[in-house]
Every structure is written in structure tokens, then in C-alpha cells.
């Protein structure tokens, strides 16, 4: 005779710190899991009550009082379906990243996360104490092993649970996205399941939180390490996995198998998700973007429209004497294609007024990048004035290549509350633009094919100041993301002249990056959480060929 356990996997878009709202969402999903899917148990994500990562909110006593109150409310409200979910819990003077089983409106089991990540974007040892023992739940005719996120990435916690008698591993997660992370994660989890011959149900948070994007993509794999259930990426979802217990042991049956997005689609959806959630969760009415006719602002605008809808995106073209007719035409064409509000504000009068007022200070000095930066700052001032007046947040448009080498103007084109493409290298910007045009042709082809230019002086192109992006981007990846020494970068075939130039530019522009708007993280090492360098530093890499 067989016995079935219907388990709902709930990937919910929660908001850090909004404990009451998060509990409301859990209650809503639990009711759906019970009535629509006829499930016995619903599994949510890591720290779902608080959202992940709560950071230094965890240091506030009042925050924990609220968690305890809302946890009690959750128990009282959900009694007809069981829950496994995560929250932080104080015990004495220690804090644990806890997973708990709630049955019949009562907490019956609690498991403290054993493996606390403390690398990259993770900083859990700052807050939490590690657990040291497995937690098993006898559930109907199966034994469930409770684990949390990082526990499944390293040998130890899962093996202990299986050795203690677990038939199925429940793994709840706050696992942020970077390019190729979904397949990487799946490979690790499936290999763990295969090595212990035990099925795994993996549930991940979904949604944007500051720089981080959580992709969801929850799944289940059987004891042989085969994925039998796959949920969607970058959207809230609820689905059912059935655990069958019979004389043959434990079998899993999935209810859906959503195809994995390809590389460009995945990165693009991460950017859309990150922008949309940042704007909405911070209470802005929409965004405004300086649409220049160039590729960066074109892609940023398209992402914003896909994230927020055309009614919530305004653009301003801010021409100057060096702005080409092509740029004006292409900016207008994109705004028309996207159906967004398009404004034109010349910065010529502002620039002339600034230069006139500054003339006594500049007397006897030749024109240089100062005058170029004044143009950019006139544009920044215009965007911020519009933002103040309308409540629409400025999206800045600098890509990762530019942010790396400081090819941007403080208080000019760096002005803004958020940056959709901050972690997107320039070459990938072009690839994403082409990808988006396969869905609908909204970015003019000429924007993609023409030579990139800041248009701050006559006949200016980016390669006047920078190596070609096809050379710059891989050097940056090696130096910024992989910490390669200059000699090792040259050894990979790059011109020593370019390597020396790029490294010097990266190192001397930390002060700019520290003042830049936050932006969506899509690589393994983004500026901000991942890469923490001092602004004031006497260290320079040794450049000796």
C-alpha cells in the first residue's frame, strides 16, 4: 500500500524588513496551496519572514520582537496546512538562521543552519551562530531532513541528516542570481542528492533586493540526481511535488517542468526583475532616464519599460551643440517604439550660463575635460530637477566597463537612484540589445551598430580614451572579477600597454565607484557587496613585464 505526501513549493517575492506584509503573503500562499493544490505541507524560502538578506536589521532588538509577534500570528492563521520556512531566532545572546516546521499551528521542530556563508555577497557570520546537529521530522510515512541553503553546497549537513534517517531533504534558500547560476546550482544540488541517494526539494526566494536578484527557479530532484520538477525563474510561483512512500521506497512526482532560460534571456530577465522591484519596493511613481541616442541609455530605457510599463517611464533628450542629428533621431524613434513620454530640453543655455559665471576662475586656462563635465552635470541637474518635481526616480545608465575605469562624470551622468546595467560589460550591452530586439524591434539598429561616443566634444568616440571594448572587457574580467596579476593578464595574450592603462584607471577610480548608484548584480563579482577595496590606498599592483 502506498501513501502520498503532497508538498507545495512556494517561491514568494518578499520584502526585507516588511515582516507583517511577508506573513500576509505566506498566509495567502498557504491558503492557495491547501485549496488549489490540496497539499499537506508548504515549503517557503530561507528567512522568508524577514526577507533575505536583512543585514543590520538583525542587530535591532525591536526587529526581533516584531518577528516573534508575526510568527505567532502566522501560527494562529495557518493550521490546516503544515509549513516549513525560515526566520532568524534569538536564543540567549545568540542568533540563529532558523528553519522551522509548523504543524497544526504550532512550531514542532527547529533547525539551525550549519554552514554559514561568509564570502562574496554573504556576510552571515557577522550575525549568526552555526547550528551543529541535524533535524528530522517524521511526517506521515516519511522522514524529512530539514536544511537551509548553504548546507547543501558543502559536504556535511545533508550527509548527517541522511545518516540520521532522512528519506527526503527539504532545502530552503536565499540564493541570489548571477549569470549561469541556475544551472550551476542545479548541478551542485543534484550531485548532492545522487551522492546520498536521497531526493531533494529545493525552494528559493524570488525578487529584487537592492543589488541582488533572487531568481526562484525552485526544483526537485530524485535520489538519482535527476530533476523531476522545475519552476519558473524571476516570478512568484506555487507548485506541487508528490512524495510517494511504498514498498519500493520513496518516489517523487513533479507537476511542472519549466524550460531554463538561455543566457541572454536569463540575464535580461534578472535586470528587469531588479529594476522593477527596486522602484516599486522603494515607493517611486516611476523612473526618468536621459535618453541620449546611445546604446547604454537605449538598453536601460527598454529594461525600464519591460519592468514598469510605458506609463511609468519618462525620457529626456538633452541635446548640446555636439549632439548629432542621428542621436536625436534615434532617441525619438525608440521613445515612439516603446510608447513612452519623450521630452527635449537643450542644455545649451545652462552650459553657457555656467561657463560665463566660471570664466573669472578659469582665466588663463585652456579648455579641457572640465567643460565636458559641465555638460554632463547640466544633464544631471535637469534629470534630478524632473525627479524632484514628479517623484520619478532617475535611472543612471553607466555600464560596468565605464564604471570600472571611471569613464563617467560624478554628479553628471552618474546621477541617479539606481543603475540597471551597472554590472553589465559593454560588449554584453550590445548583445542584450540585439536579444531584446528579437522580441520586438524597439532599439534602432543604428544605435547598435554605430561607434559609441559620449558626444562631449567634436568627433569624439570612446576609443579615443579607452581600449576597444572587445579588449577592455576581458582585461577587466580578469583583473576585477578574477584578481589576476598584471603579468598573468599579459600572459593570456593582451597587449601590455592596454593592461597597464586599464589597471591604473581601475585603481584610481575607486572613489567614483563608491559614490555610484546601486545596480543589479549579474556577475560573480559586482562592485559593491562583492568587491570591497579601500578608497585611500597606497597599494598598486606591480607592473613588470
Q: Tell me, what's the pLDDT at 348?
A: 96
Find the angle CA(433)-CA(381)-CA(410) to the nearest 5 degrees: 70
Q: Is the pLDDT of residue 108 over 80?
A: yes
Looking at the domain 3-255, which fold is it? Nitrilase/N-carbamoyl-D-aminoacid amidohydrolase (3.60.110)
Q: Tell me, what's the pLDDT at 400?
A: 96
Tell me, yes or no, if the two domains 3-255 and 265-462 fold the same way: no
Element (H, E) at 96: strand 94-103
User: Which pTM was predicted?
Assistant: 0.94
Lookup result for grid cell 514628479: 390
For residues 81 and 39, the answer to whether their CB atoms sit within 8 Å is: yes
Of these residues, 44, 46, 186, 402, which one is catalytic? 46
Which residues of 273-346 form beta strands (DSSP E)?
287-290, 313-317, 341-344
Give the three-class secondary structure for 197: coil
Spatial distance between the Cα atoms of 350 and 360, rounded to a whole number of angstroms = 17
Of these residues, 44, 135, 149, 221, which one is catalytic? 149
DSSP string, 17-81: T-HHHHHHHHHHHHHHHHHTS--SEEE--TTTTT-S--GGGGG-HHHHHHHHHHHHHHHHH--SS
- Structural domain spans, the chain: 3-255, 265-462
* CATH top-level class of 265-462: alpha beta
Rounded to the nearest integer, the mean pLDDT of the chain is 94
Q: Is the pLDDT of residue 545 over 70?
A: no
378 belongs to the catalytic site: no
CA dihedral sign, ordered 362, 367, 369, 371: positive
Q: How confident is the model at residue 362 (pLDDT cuts 50, 70, 90)?
A: very high
Each residue's pLDDT tens digit, 157-168:
999 999 999 999
Each residue's pLDDT tens digit, 288-315:
999 999 999 999 999 999 999 999 999 9
What number is the average pLDDT over the span 443-468?
A: 84
Q: Is the pLDDT of residue 525 over 80?
A: yes
149 belongs to the catalytic site: yes
Of these residues, 89, 113, 240, 422, which one is catalytic? 113
113 belongs to the catalytic site: yes
Q: Is the pLDDT of residue 520 over 90?
A: yes
Amino acid at each position: 500500500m502506498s501513501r502520498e505526501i503532497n508538498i507545495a513549493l512556494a517561491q514568494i517575492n518578499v520584502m526585507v524588513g516588511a515582516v507583517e506584509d511577508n506573513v500576509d503573503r505566506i498566509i495567502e500562499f498557504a491558503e492557495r496551496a491547501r485549496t488549489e493544490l490540496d497539499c499537506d505541507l508548504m515549503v517557503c524560502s530561507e528567512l522568508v519572514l524577514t526577507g533575505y538578506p536583512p543585514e543590520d536589521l538583525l542587530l535591532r532588538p525591536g526587529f526581533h520582537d516584531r518577528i516573534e509577534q508575526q510568527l505567532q500570528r502566522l501560527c494562529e492563521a495557518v493550521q490546516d496546512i503544515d509549513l516549513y520556512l525560515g526566520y532568524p531566532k534569538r536564543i540567549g545572546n545568540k542568533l540563529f538562521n532558523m528553519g522551522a516546521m509548523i504543524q497544526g499551528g504550532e512550531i514542532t521542530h527547529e533547525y539551525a543552519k550549519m554552514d554559514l556563508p561568509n564570502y562574496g555577497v554573504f556576510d552571515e557570520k557577522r550575525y549568526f551562530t552555526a547550528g551543529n546537529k541535524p533535524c528530522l521530522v517524521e511526517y506521515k510515512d516519511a522522514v524529512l531532513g530539514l536544511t537551509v541553503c548553504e548546507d547543501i553546497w558543502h559536504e556535511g549537513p545533508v550527509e548527517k541528516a541522511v545518516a540520521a534517517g532522512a528519506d527526503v531533504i527539504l532545502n530552503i534558500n536565499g540564493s541570489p542570481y548571477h549569470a549561469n547560476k541556475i544551472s550551476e546550482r542545479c548541478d551542485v544540488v543534484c550531485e548532492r542528492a545522487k551522492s546520498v541517494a536521497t531526493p531533494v526539494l529545493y525552494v528559493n526566494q524570488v525578487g529584487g533586493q537592492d543589488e541582488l536578484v533572487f531568481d526562484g527557479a525552485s526544483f526537485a530532484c530524485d535520489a538519482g540526481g535527476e530533476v523531476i520538477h522545475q519552476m519558473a525563474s524571476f516570478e512568484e510561483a506555487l507548485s506541487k511535488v508528490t512524495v510517494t512512500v511504498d514498498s519500493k521506497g520513496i518516489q517523487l512526482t513533479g507537476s511542472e517542468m519549466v524550460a531554463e532560460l538561455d543566457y541572454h534571456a536569463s540575464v535580461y530577465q534578472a535586470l528587469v526583475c531588479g529594476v522593477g522591484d527596486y522602484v516599486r519596493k522603494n515607493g517611486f511613481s516611476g523612473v526618468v532616464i536621459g535618453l541620449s541616442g546611445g546604446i547604454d541609455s537605449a538598453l536601460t530605457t527598454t529594461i525600464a519599460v519591460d519592468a514598469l510599463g510605458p506609463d511609468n517611464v519618462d525620457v529626456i533628450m538633452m541635446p548640446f551643440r555636439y549632439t548629432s542629428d542621428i542621436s536625436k533621431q534615434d532617441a525619438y524613434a525608440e521613445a515612439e517604439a516603446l510608447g513612452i513620454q519623450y521630452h527635449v530640453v537643450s542644455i545649451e543655455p545652462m552650459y553657457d550660463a555656467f561657463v560665463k559665471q566660471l570664466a573669472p576662475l578659469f582665466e588663463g586656462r585652456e579648455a579641457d575635460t572640465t567643460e565636458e563635465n559641465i555638460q554632463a552635470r547640466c544633464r544631471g541637474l535637469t534629470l534630478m530637477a524632473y525627479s524632484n518635481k514628479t517623484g520619478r526616480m532617475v535611472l543612471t545608465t553607466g555600464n560596468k566597463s565605464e564604471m570600472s575605469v571611471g569613464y563617467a562624470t560624478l554628479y553628471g551622468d552618474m546621477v541617479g537612484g539606481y543603475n540597471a546595467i551597472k554590472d553589465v560589460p559593454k560588449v554584453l550591452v550590445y548583445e542584450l540589445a540585439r536579444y531584446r530586439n528579437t522580441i520586438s524591434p524597439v532599439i534602432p539598429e543604428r544605435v547598435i551598430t554605430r561607434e559609441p561616443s559620449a558626444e562631449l566634444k567634436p568627433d569624439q568616440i570612446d576609443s579615443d580614451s579607452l581600449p576597444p571594448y572587445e579588449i577592455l572587457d576581458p582585461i577587466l574580467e580578469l583583473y576585477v572579477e578574477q584578481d589576476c596579476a598584471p603579468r598573468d593578464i599579459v600572459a593570456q595574450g593582451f597587449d601590455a600597454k592596454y593592461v597597464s592603462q586599464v589597471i591604473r584607471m581601475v585603481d584610481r577610480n575607486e572613489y567614483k565607484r563608491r559614490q555610484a548608484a546601486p545596480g543589479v548584480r549579474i556577475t560573480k563579482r559586482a562592485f559593491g557587496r562583492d568587491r570591497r577595496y579601500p578608497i585611500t590606498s597606497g597599494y598598486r599592483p606591480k607592473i613588470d613585464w
